[in-house]
Structure 1
Amino acid sequence: MKLTLKRMLGLALALVMSIAVIGCGGGEQKAEEKKDAADEKLKIAFIYVGPIGDGGWTYAQDLGRIFLEKEVPGIETTYIESVPEGADSERVLTELAEKGNKIIFATSFGYMDAVIKVAQKYPDVKFLHCSGYKTAENAGTYFGRMYQARYLTGLMAGKETESNIIGYVAAFPIPEVIRGINAFTVGVREVNPEAKVKVVWTNTWYDPAAEKEAAKSLLEAGADVITQHQDTPGPMQAAEEKGKFGIGYNSDMASMAPKAVLTSAVWNWGPYYVDTVKAIQAGTWKSDQYWGPMSDGIVGLAPYGPMVSDEVKQLVEAKKQEILEGKWDVFTGPIKDQSGQEKVPAGQVMSDADMLSFDWFVEGVDGTIPK
């Protein structure tokens, strides 16, 4: 009986010891799991419509991604470039979500419907769509009031033209592009009521040859200042080859056509990306439609070219200050359309809803809007 009791006590002691060992091992395992989770980086992806070397839109977007990586620790970013708008974008967005990316920035207007579709399938992923207007609980939109910078460049073009014909190489007939043409023309006409802004459409975002040819056609029609909405410096190079002036877009295009470029209307995406990712990390992000003004720093002007006079610089800087301080905005009436009909009465400021749905040209634009 005593022997049996000893054996029972021994077995009990061994059982307690084994439980203790297992418990210690489990604790070590949990600690290791916690360490691995802490070491795991937040995966963020970007989908681009063009190549990062386009010198324009995608290049500016990628500068924002690089800025984000430098400013926010514990993240890992990737990108896929030259993704066509449409079915291909839905496939790529799905692949990025499947690979564990928890934040995806879709950086072109034509990705909009694909973003909404894929967002419904991956509710734990946050989607941010650039320049669109459709949202979901886990999908927001973002853009900047580029029309403010466009207006300022219009002031410069109106002052610099001698032929009173200014060429505008336009991308697609969507409200974003129309709004930019109109803002630019408001600036031109403010300082030069005799000038016209002649528009040629390419229906491209990135086609260097087509965009350069469109600029050449405008130069042959008498334009002596060229601006654009596409992602390549082709129109600026066409202007330089003819000894004329140009105003770049997306990023500073002076290095591609230094004798032509007066300035460029530029994007600065980095601060927005940093603020958005930090909000998502903190759990404070909510889907919205961000449309940041020039005072947020998301849009602005590149440095002036050496050919720009002090008089023109002072004019532009004075108007810029009014915009930055919120004292005035571009689409303040009276504003007429091409037919001379008043669309915005004197003293009235156009609403965001109307600006975001622009489907008409202001007085001074020489061109039509394709259906």
Structure 2
Amino acid sequence: MLRRPLLSWFMGLSVLTFGCSVIVEKDVKGKGLGVQCNTSSECHVGSCDDGVCVASCDGNGDCPASTKCFAGKCQKPLNVSALWVGVVSGGEGWTLTHQEGVTAAKERLPYINYKFQESVISDLDITNAVEKAVNEEKADVILLNSYSQRAKMLELAKKHEKVKFLNCQGYQAQKPNVAAYAAHEEQAWWVAGVVAAQRAQNKIGYIGSFITPEVVRHISAFLLGARSVKPQITLEVAWIGFWSDWKPTRTYNYNGPLALNKSGGDSVYREELLTYRLIDDGAEVIAHGADNQRSVRLIETLYKSGRLKDANGQPRVYSVSNDNRNAYKELDANGLPNGAPLQTCLGSPFWNWTPMYVSMFSEIHRGTWQPVNRNDPMTNDPAQSVPGFNLNPTAQGIDDSVVRKYVNEISTRGWQFVFNGPYPTNGQRDSNVDGVVDSKDKQSFDAGEQMSEDEYKSMCWFPQGVYERKDPTKGAGDPGYSLVQARVPDAQRIQTDPSFINDLEGPPEVPASAVADCTLNK
């Protein structure tokens, strides 16, 4: 074990003193600590560990300047700052999964120093958060977990060229010091559709969040997975207009037949309002793309209150949770989904960011990182796969071995199999991504057709079979209520459908055009 003498030996080897003269030793060879290596013989001192020169230590005092002692090894620290679009505690979903991924990566890579900020939404938020990360936290790496942060991030990345920016779901964010990362979660949503079809006979629902190609892909995959089991199933979509209802209190009112408060109705978040709407319209299983599990917990509450029990005491409506592998569970005392399984939730498509964060941080630390955009597929190994599906083990009548078979099938066949035809689309398809909708005779997705990466990134169309309320505020029994084939929101809809636009909920700092136009968000 090399202790404090390492530092004095290291300095003495490179500098010899004689009287008042200083003689620089010109024969010192090898790479210094923290420098990329292939073998230990290349390192000036210590050994080559995971592609980096390191030396043993008991504390920081044993290490040369610019390195510290991490897990018994002198290494250069990697300062990582995360600027999360959502919140960690109470979010239960997307942002929590990223926090868990970085925390787990830090346990495996002890040289990481980690800081994070929450609710980084507006351009001003992003600017202030980046400046704090660079100037106060001395960040080497900045993480942002939403495409909606991309434009401002790219602007700031030019100013801070020595910092590496990693943008989740940023796709076309590649620059010399910027890269995007994502994974094919539509594979997990296809499996979720298969599971939903074990409970739904005719209709499933989906609460869409921010209107993006990613969310459109998840909705479509959910329907196509269900239809692989029951071809007659349809899906009704309802939109939040952002990743969640961003307001701190409930500002909506539901006064329909399922209201818990019969005198005046229920005060609800938007996710809860849309859950009520979909139940009223006959959805038997409801999934969502929000950064929380509000819809899932409402369905459980309605079931326990007796409002969603059938004649045999079983749930009339089930949910599919989102993002977190344990999102089908009750919350514990810390507000995390680690309690008992919910009775009405079938399971959860989830993100396991740990292997990707370990890979990216290790590459940056070893000096091998390249600014390439990653989009990892689902694999058969749940520990190494970023996307996955976790079945609620208490879901009666659904065999985990059968679900595992579907996971293996979609992992083996690849993400493109999710969109396997034949089926007609809703008429919005732009297969060559030239900004012009394909002609009517090219609107079907053919059997054996392979979706291109470009179309994947810009998918702003649905398979036929996705419906929505013509006027989102009018329910069954109201004058003017009807369900129509859903149109993925775009510039045309902004101009021609004010009832839809006015019903959306986006933060005031995010313009309506960004909230409601899928084609802007690719």
Common topology (TM > 0.5): yes
Cα distance in 2 for residues equivalent to 1:308 and 1:172? 33
Aligned-partner residue type, residue 452 of structure 2 = S
2:133 is the counterpart of 1:45? no
- Deviation of 1:37 after TM superposition, in Å, equals 1.1
Q: Deviations over 1:36-85 (max 9, x none)?
A: 31116221111111110111011111001110110102220000011114
Q: Deviations over 1:69-108 (max 9, x none)?
A: 1010222000001111433213312321223100111111
2:220 is the counterpart of 1:160? no
Q: 1:211 aligns with which of 268, 271, 295?
A: 271
Q: 1:300 aligns with which of 378, 388, 394?
A: 388
Give the SS at the match of 2:391.
Answer: coil
2:232 is the counterpart of 1:194? yes
1:56 is matched with 93
- Deviation of 1:123 after TM superposition, in Å, equals 1.2
Cα distance in 1 for residues equivalent to 2:123 and 2:203? 36
Q: Deviations over 1:261-283 (max 9, x none)?
A: 10100000011111101101111
Give the SS at the match of 1:254.
Answer: coil
Aligned-partner residue type, residue 210 of structure 1 = R
Which consecutive unaligned segments of at least 5 residues does structure 2 have? 1-17, 25-60, 69-75, 247-268, 303-307, 309-314, 331-340, 428-439, 468-485, 491-522
Q: 1:275 aligns with which of 359, 381, 395?
A: 359
Give the SS at the match of 1:117.
Answer: helix
1:10 is matched with none
- Deviation of 1:236 after TM superposition, in Å, equals 0.5
- Deviation of 1:19 after TM superposition, in Å, equals 4.1
Aligned-partner residue type, residue 487 of structure 2 = T
Give the SS at the match of 1:78.
Answer: strand
Aligned-partner residue type, residue 294 of structure 2 = G
Cα distance in 1 for residues equivalent to 2:234 and 2:64? 64
Whether the aligned pair in 1 keeps the contact of 2:187 and 2:411 (CA below 8 Å) is no
1:126 is matched with 164
Q: 1:369 aligns with which of 488, 501, 504?
A: 488
Higher helix share: 1
- Deviation of 1:127 after TM superposition, in Å, equals 0.7
Give the SS at the match of 1:49.
Answer: coil
- Deviation of 1:329 after TM superposition, in Å, equals 2.0
2:405 is matched with 318
Relative to 1, partners in 2 of residues 1:305 and 1:226: Cα closer, same or farther, differing over 3 Å? Answer: farther
1:26 is matched with none
1:110 is matched with 148
2:64 is matched with 35
- Deviation of 1:324 after TM superposition, in Å, equals 2.0
Q: 2:290 aligns with which of 207, 223, 230?
A: 230
- Relative to the length of structure 2, the TM-score reads 0.63
2:464 is the counterpart of 1:345? no
Please list, as runs of the form range in 1=range in 2, the aligned pairs for 1:143-154 lying within 5 A after superposition.
143-154=182-193
- Deviation of 1:315 after TM superposition, in Å, equals 4.1
Q: Deviations over 1:178-200 (max 9, x none)?
A: 01111111111121122111000
Instruction: Tell which deviates more after alignment, 239-248 or 355-364.
Output: 239-248
Whether the aligned pair in 2 keeps the contact of 1:236 and 1:246 (CA below 8 Å) is yes
Q: Share of identical aligned residues, percent? A: 26
Give the SS at the match of 2:221.
Answer: helix
Whether the aligned pair in 2 keeps the contact of 1:207 and 1:232 (CA below 8 Å) is no
Cα distance in 1 for residues equivalent to 2:489 and 2:322? 22
Q: Alpha carbon RMSD of aligned pairs, Å?
A: 2.4
Give the SS at the match of 2:198.
Answer: helix
- Deviation of 1:166 after TM superposition, in Å, equals 1.1
Instruction: Tell which deviates more after alignment, 353-362 or 202-211.
Output: 202-211
Which structure has the larger Rg over C-alpha atoms?
A: 1
| Runs of 4 or more above 6 Å deviation | none
Q: 1:170 aligns with which of 208, 229, 239?
A: 208
Cα distance in 1 for residues equivalent to 2:168 and 2:401? 33
Cα distance in 2 for residues equivalent to 1:314 and 1:278? 35
Cα distance in 2 for residues equivalent to 1:166 and 1:322? 23
Cα distance in 2 for residues equivalent to 1:205 and 1:292? 22
Q: Deviations over 1:181-229 (max 9, x none)?
A: 1111111112112211100001121228111111111111111211000
Which consecutive unaligned segments of at least 5 residues does structure 1 have? 1-15, 24-31
Aligned-partner residue type, residue 191 of structure 2 = L
- Deviation of 1:18 after TM superposition, in Å, equals 4.2
- Deviation of 1:368 after TM superposition, in Å, equals 2.6
Q: Deviations over 1:137-176 (max 9, x none)?
A: 11000001000000000111122114x2211000122101
- Deviation of 1:331 after TM superposition, in Å, equals 1.4
Q: Which has the higher contact order (CA 8 A, sep 6+)?
A: 1
Whether the aligned pair in 2 keeps the contact of 1:169 and 1:227 (CA below 8 Å) is yes
Whether the aligned pair in 2 keeps the contact of 1:87 and 1:114 (CA below 8 Å) is no
Whether the aligned pair in 2 keeps the contact of 1:261 and 1:305 (CA below 8 Å) is no
Aligned-partner residue type, residue 412 of structure 2 = E
2:299 is matched with 239
Whether the aligned pair in 1 keeps the contact of 2:101 and 2:353 (CA below 8 Å) is yes
Whether the aligned pair in 1 keeps the contact of 2:272 and 2:298 (CA below 8 Å) is yes
Relative to 1, partners in 2 of residues 1:258 and 1:56: Cα closer, same or farther, differing over 3 Å? Answer: same
Aligned-partner residue type, residue 83 of structure 1 = V
2:323 is matched with 250
Whether the aligned pair in 2 keeps the contact of 1:177 and 1:229 (CA below 8 Å) is yes
Give the SS at the match of 1:44.
Answer: strand
Q: 1:332 aligns with which of 403, 408, 420?
A: 420
